[in-house]
């Protein structure tokens, strides 16, 4: 468990929240990179962290020419994050990744500007998509599985 506030940021997408005493054991980390840096990013993650479930998933967002590396880490010795890394949540049924900020923006978009925490999302409409914010605007990145690394 972390006992200090940590800020997660990405250069391309908004995600800035502080976490105190956060249970990170069920959080999914998401690192953005390009093809030229993909191998270096993967090596850094493998050397720096104990990967839970022994798998790293690499997704490709073709329209943005980006690669998204997703993984769970053992938070026991967590001290820093790779550059361009955020925490996301996942809906398994539709393979949708999202930040809480993006979820709130999506609800307001679908619910005529009103934020209602009981609003039901049709997750299949966002199958294989990452929901993020950029400049407080909702961004929807369509993804395909690029590869899975067994650690």
The Cα-based distances of 130 to 10, 50, 54, 71, 144 in angstroms read 14, 24, 22, 14, 11
10 Å CB burial of residue 82 (0-12, 13-18, 19+) is: middle
- What ranges do the domains of the chain cover? 6-150
Give the span between the Cα atoms of 82 and 49, in whole angstroms.
10
Backbone φ and ψ for 122, nearest 5 degrees, come out as -85, 90
Cβ neighbours of 51 (radius 10 Å): 18
Is residue 17 scored above 80 in pLDDT? no
pLDDT band at 25 (very low <50, low <70, confident <90, very high): low
Please give the pLDDT value at position 65. Answer: 94
Residue 53 sits at the vertex; the CA angle it makes with 52 and 57, to the nearest 5 degrees, is 95
Query: Is pLDDT larger for residue 15 or for residue 123?
Result: 123
pLDDT band at 82 (very low <50, low <70, confident <90, very high): confident
Q: Taking all residues of the chain, what is their mean pLDDT, rounded to a whole number?
A: 85
CA trace torsion 21, 4, 72, 59 (10° rounding): 120
Please give the pLDDT value at position 75. Answer: 76
Please give the pLDDT value at position 3. Answer: 30
Is residue 126 scored above 60 in pLDDT? yes
Give the span between the Cα atoms of 18 and 14, in whole angstroms.
13
Is residue 30 scored above 80 in pLDDT? yes
Please give the pLDDT value at position 37. Answer: 96
Please give the pLDDT value at position 24. Answer: 54
Over residues 32-79, the pLDDT tens digits come to: 999 999 999 999 999 988 898 999 999 999 999 999 999 998 877 677
């Amino acid at each position: 468990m972390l006992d200090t506030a940590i800020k997660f940021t990405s250069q391309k997408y908004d995600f800035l929240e502080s976490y105190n005493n956060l249970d990170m054991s069920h959080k999914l980390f998401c690192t953005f990179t390009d093809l030229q840096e993909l191998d270096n990013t993967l090596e850094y993650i493998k050397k720096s962290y104990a990967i839970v479930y022994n798998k790293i998933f690499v997704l490709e967002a073709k329209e943005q020419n980006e690669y998204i590396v997703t993984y769970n880490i053992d938070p026991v010795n967590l001290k820093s994050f790779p550059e361009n890394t955020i925490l996301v949540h996942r809906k398994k049924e539709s393979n949708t990744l999202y930040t809480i900020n993006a979820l709130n923006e999506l609800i307001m978009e679908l619910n005529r500007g009103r934020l209602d925490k009981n609003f039901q999302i049709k997750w299949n409409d966002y199958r294989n998509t990452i929901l993020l914010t950029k400049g407080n605007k909702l961004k929807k990145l369509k993804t395909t599985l690029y590869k899975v690394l067994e650690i």
